[in-house]
Amino acid sequence: MRKILLALLASFLVGGFAQAQGGLLAEIQERGNLACGVNQSLPGFGVIDSEGNFSGFDVDFCRAIAAAVIGDADAVTYRALTASERFTAVQSGEVDVLIRNTTWTSSRDSEVGLNFAPTTFYDGQGFTVKRASGISQVQDFEGTTICVQSGTTTELNLADVMAALDISYTPLLFETADQVYAAYEADQCESVTTDMSGLVSRSTLLQDPEASVILPITISKEPLGPAVLHGDDQWFDVVKWVTFATMFAEEYGITSDNVRDQLETAEAPVVRRFLGLDGQVMQQLGLDSEAMVRVIEQVGNYGEIFARNLGPDTQFGLERGLNAQYTDGGLLYSPPFR
């Protein structure tokens, strides 16, 4: 009975809200800025600089959506959300889109009432290893010691995966992440395991960052991506296809530097449609023909976004791994713009 009542209440709130909103796309264009829920303290993904400006991998996707919808990547009102308030913020309409390292799961898709746009970052449990250990793949962990935080899903994941692969290793358990890293620094273990995004933020804090490397492999699934509220399909489409656009542009070699030239020179029909030169693809999405041109020009394609925030030229030095194009053995695959 209580469940039914709760479900009724939820559907009333959500449904009533979607109705009152009408088209979120039109509302955002009229308002002239995008309310984007982000993290403000996850290095590489969402941080605030000393001037108070947001930056990071997730933040760049807010900017991409604003560039497509409003025409200006800076027309974003950021809302820094804690893990516990992020879903309420979407449900109450406080933010138009949530891009806060949120893992796409079935219950969030159904019960929480979110629609997930394509995954922008395939996170998952990864490993930081000592360069000297020579470990480069999961099989190399045979006979090694791994430092891990006790009582976490990380610990269970590790045990499951290693058991399935029949690899024997010695787990060294600690209460806190600080202790885990202290033990790693003291050479009590060859590697540390936790979520990739967590490894990234710790990597530069090591005493000798050069002596360690983050392996480009993951042993669990934590797909992170933008999410919007159920009930507004047009808005969901826009967020989804702006995300795809960054991946599409990388696949076809369209970058922030050459996108203007491509407008003059592009010949491939698939690229011409993407740039809004042929067809009505963008209009069908509710955008103007140059929407994706602005995304690439103002923010860049997926490869540029990744390189700027997490890639080898940054202090995090992350390899693309699963986050490479499908043509390079990754999982990024944009459907055609047609």
Partner 1 sequence: MDMIPSRPPPAGQRGVQAWLRRNLFSGWVNTAVSLVVGYLVVVSTINLTRWVVTGASWEPVWTNLKLLAIYRYPMELAWRPVIAVGVFLMLTGLSAALGRRAGKGKIIGGLYAWLTGLVVVLTVIAWLAWPSVREAWTAATFMAAGGYLAGWFVPKLVRAQAWLWSAGLPVVLVLVYGLGGEGPWATVRTLEWGGFMLTIVIAVFGITVSFPLGIALALGRRSSLPAIKYFSIGFIELIRGAPLITWLFIASLMVPLLLDTSPDSIPALARALVAVTLFSAVYMAENVRGGLQSVPNGQREAARALGLSGWQTTRLIVLPQALRAVIPVLVGQAIGLFKDTSLVFIVGLHDFFEIGRRIIPSQPESLLYPGGVLLELSLFMAAVYWFFSYRMSIASRQLEKELGVGER
For partner 1, the binding residues (CB under 8 A) are: 13, 16-17, 20, 35, 40-44, 47-52, 77, 79-82, 84-85, 88, 91-94, 201, 204-205, 207, 314-315
When the beta carbons of 17 and 252 are compared against partner 1, the nearer one is 17
> How many Cβ atoms from other residues are within 10 Å of residue 298's Cβ?
19
Which among 5, 73, 41, 20 is positioned nearest to 246, based on CA atoms?
73
What is the nearest approach in angstroms of partner 1 to the Cβ of residue 182? 11
Q: CA-CA distance, 202 to 208, in Å (whole number)?
A: 12
When the beta carbons of 12 and 333 are compared against partner 1, the nearer one is 12
What is the nearest approach in angstroms of partner 1 to the Cβ of residue 10? 10
Tokens at 119, concatenated = 């995954």
When the beta carbons of 60 and 251 are compared against partner 1, the nearer one is 60
> How many Cβ atoms from other residues are within 10 Å of residue 295's Cβ?
29
Tokens at 53, concatenated = 């400006």
What is the nearest approach in angstroms of partner 1 to the Cβ of residue 107? 18
What is the nearest approach in angstroms of partner 1 to the Cβ of residue 284? 28
Which among 124, 142, 123 is positioned nearest to 133, based on CA atoms?
142
| Amino acid in position 41 | S
> How many Cβ atoms from other residues are within 10 Å of residue 35's Cβ?
17
Contact 18, 234 (CB under 8 A): no
Contact 305, 289 (CB under 8 A): no
Q: Which residues contact 26 (CB under 8 A, 6 or more apart)?
A: none
When the beta carbons of 276 and 300 are compared against partner 1, the nearer one is 300
When the beta carbons of 58 and 297 are compared against partner 1, the nearer one is 58
What is the nearest approach in angstroms of partner 1 to the Cβ of residue 88? 6
What is the nearest approach in angstroms of partner 1 to the Cβ of residue 248? 28
When the beta carbons of 13 and 165 are compared against partner 1, the nearer one is 13
Tokens at 220, concatenated = 């669990």
